[in-house]
A and B are shown apart, each in its own frame.
Chain A
Amino acid sequence: MDFLTIIQILDSTVRLGTPLLLACLAGLFSERAGIFDIGLEGKMLAAAFFSAAVAAVSGSVWLGLAAGIAASLALAALHGLASITFRGNQLISGVAINFLAAGLTVLIAQDWFGQGGRTPSLVGGARFEPITLPFADHVAAVPILGPIYSELLSGHSILVYLAFLAVPATWWMLYRTRFGLRLRAVGENPAAVDTAGVSVVGLRYAAVAICGVLCGIAGAYLATGLQAGFVKDMTAGRGFIALAALIFAKWRPWHAMWACLLFGFLQAIALRYQNIDLGGLVIPVQVMDALPYILTVVILAGFVGKAIPPRAGGEPYVKER
């Protein structure tokens, strides 16, 4: 394996890790506030469709992004309504949202475009184009560092850079602002937050809304950045891999980034090689497919450091009278 191949695999790791990272941070906000969210997949899928559909019709990828975020926010509001206002089961609500998105996207896509549940291919301004960082072409010839800069770091769409900037932003928001402190508190001990005179319901809705926005960007990136258009079920379990990454990272932003890059790397390897031959020992591609899930189970089992979720996670808050 030569240097350029490694760079290419890492480049594709960044691309494939981006939607995971955005969805993972989305889940982080929600779950840190005590709202379990297994509907990341559905929100991403809805955002992917509406961003691609609006971008295809209007020709503007930015309008598409806005539509994607709006669609994801609508589902997030539904999740909030079910799990915060009506104190329903958050897991069941998440399952419902996943199916709702899986069904509605195909139904609407067929109605609008009549192409068997897909949008037309996006071209030109309807897609997020790669951004060439300054001097990327000039330094490409420099050994080692040149390709790293011009191939690996440069040439991604704006949403990729946004996703990686969201990591320090999330860290800062959670650990260095009053809002972040309250958000974390509401996921651990909502009664204490309530006693302090801060609205538990308001905080949780805010967290779910942030989750919706981030899932919206993740879905829009899938359909307008990574690929050119929406196809049925295009999230392909990414929402669940993001969930796995979130547990793997034990609900911490920087760790979430590394977990998503690891899982993105596994996807990049599986995409490039069918079976990996390690000198006699052949690893079938199915092992690569299953590895993120297996790793998550191992982490959950507590064999490699215990993953402890926010204490009030999954519990509806009932104010005592």
Chain B
Amino acid sequence: MDVMPRWADVVLIPLISLALAAILSALVIVGIGEDPVAAVSLMVKGALGSTYGWGYTLYYATNFMFTGLAVSVAFHAKLFNIGGEGQAMLGGLGVAIACLYVPWPHWTLALIFASLAAALFGAAWAAIPAYLQARRGSHIVITTIMFNFIAAAVLNYMLVVVLRPKGAMDPASARFPEAVHLPSFQEMFSTADTALFRGAPANITFFVALAACVVVWLLIWRTRLGYEIRAYGHSETGARYAGISPFRITMIAMLISGALAGLMAINNVMGEAERLVLNATEGAGFIGIAVALMGRSHPFGVFLAAILFGFLYQGGAELALWTDIPRELIVVIQALVILFTGALDNMVRMPLERLFLRLRGGNG
């Protein structure tokens, strides 16, 4: 029997954890001699005060939705995929190859096939750790960490030796052709009189990410496969007894997870940079962990958490621009969110459960 009502588990605990993370972040800002209230208002103004700010916030949120969903799907099968970063890097490689070597007539076709390439490369990068976990019992957390580093080396090699145009100095691929340019929010929403989202990188991929949220929701809660994934995550022995193959579920959950992480590349590589650069992922794969934990592995929660982290990212960039607070403040906030919503979950949960027990005792 659950001690707490469902709303407390889904809403109250994440909110309290978030509040704790926010309070500690504020203390950190005070600690480095800045004003937290001024910092927050600057972040809100910079990230949400203009369509330009929103354009950046939603661009980052798009990245985090993909990586957050990736971590979530694996979480449902009780697998911890830390490899989102590497899978997103490889997704970028897939996008670059698809965009550079095929003369696409129109961006819609390019988007479809680049997405497939991104998903395929990301899934392929998750496949080996998944297989090793399922067949050889190698701990997936360690192997996916190792694969992040291997991915960085692969990407480095590909950019320096294979994809770099002749005569270019920096390790980056050539620019993608004009035909694969994805419509940005500026092109989609601006009217003749008013320019909206001017210069911001948000693009049509945002809607792909929204669709991905819906698809993942359908998959996890409305299909047989999703049921099997959740059953396996709850109890491996139970699932085995019900005839669910652990090998199959581990492989499928990780392939989906890797594909989702890889899909991020259509936003940052195809939509924004329009070429493949080193460190294109900028740690978004790791933020997926925080997003999935905060969103309680539910696509809607992931959506909200991704928007929040998009806001933090863009707000943090504004802070770094106008104050002495470095961008790394966001890394600290991200760490605190992971800490409180993930590792210290019981610190919030235990006293709350006691409180609810006492309340219930008083009523009955």
Contacts and interface: CB of A to CB of B under 8 A. Distances in A.
Interface stretch (B6-14, B43-51, B341-349): B341-349
Interface residues of A, number: 47
Given A92-B293, A99-B334, A240 B145 contact: yes
B170 interface: no
Given A82-B344, A93-B339, A284 B157 contact: yes
Contact of A95 (B154, B286, B346): B286
Given A93-B339, A243-B142, A111 B157 contact: no
* Chain B interface size range: 35 or more
Contacts of B141: 38, 91
Given A107-B328, A110-B326, A96 B136 contact: no
B336 interface: yes
B332 A91 contact: no
Given A92-B293, A284-B161, A107 B332 contact: yes
B326 A96 contact: no
B17 to A, nearest CB: 12
B14 to A, nearest CB: 15
A145 B329 CA distance: 52
A237 B338 CA distance: 20
Contact of B342 (A89, A103, A287, A297): A89
Residue from B138, B154, B289, B324 with most neighbouring chain A CB atoms (10 Å): B138
A302 to B, nearest CB: 5
Nearest to A241: B149
B147 interface: yes
Contact of A237 (B33, B149, B286, B333): B149
Interface in B141-158: 141-143, 145-147, 149-150, 152-154, 156-157
A38 B145 contact: yes
Contacts of A98: 335
A104 B153 contact: no
A286 interface: yes
Contact of B339 (A82, A91, A240, A302): A82
A100 B339 contact: yes
B147 A297 contact: yes
Interface of B: 28, 31-33, 80, 82, 128, 132, 136-139, 141-143, 145-147, 149-150, 152-154, 156-157, 160-161, 286, 289, 293, 324-326, 328-336, 338-339, 342-347, 350
Given A289-B149, A301-B132, 6 more contacts: A38-B145, A95-B82, A99-B334, A107-B332, A244-B142, A286-B156
19 contacts: A83-B343, A86-B350, A88-B343, A88-B346, A89-B343, A90-B343, A92-B338, A96-B339, A99-B286, A102-B331, A103-B328, A103-B329, A107-B325, A111-B324, A240-B145, A240-B149, A284-B161, A289-B149, A300-B142
